[in-house]
Amino acid sequence: MAIKIGDTLPVDIKLKEMAEGGPKDVTVGEIFKGKKVVLFAVPGAFTPTCSMKHLPGFLEQANAIRAKGVDEIVCLAVNDAFVMGAWGKASNAQGKVRMLADGNAEFTKALGLALDASGFGMGTRSQRYAIVAQDGKVKELFVEPGPGLTVSSAESVLAKL
């Protein structure tokens, strides 16, 4: 069953983030505890819609989103930490959007938002969505109904903050 508004995020799941010395673990609880966070998920780093529209929209709107009381903006993909770190660097995301890897899709599956992209040779990926959470509790949820970027764009999320 997919996560819904009012649900609490699974706090014990570990994600990966690139750090100075290499990938480091970070729990979902650490990311969301005591903060208002916008997390948006993409099917894959460096893929067309993700790289040309989804991430750039959040980079462009980062200041406006933070001005609405958001403490952190997180981009999540079922990729490894090396790929997410490289994508963040290539996109100049540092200081604007935190790039996190859900390499084994544990978080994605726990939310019920996995996507079978094996037909494209991509295996299990994440659906495209965005969540606004306060202290780990889902306040807003924007899951794309199909291909493309409409409801989970930075502009759509900003309009609901």
Residue numbers annotated as active site: 50
Q: Which residue type occupies 65?
A: I
Residue 113, exposed/middle/buried by CB under 10 A (0-12, 13-18, 19+)? buried
Residue with tokens 């040779």: 121
CA angle 108, 13, 103 (to 5 degrees): 50
CA distances from 122 to 37, 79, 117 (A): 28, 10, 5
Rg (CA), the chain: 14
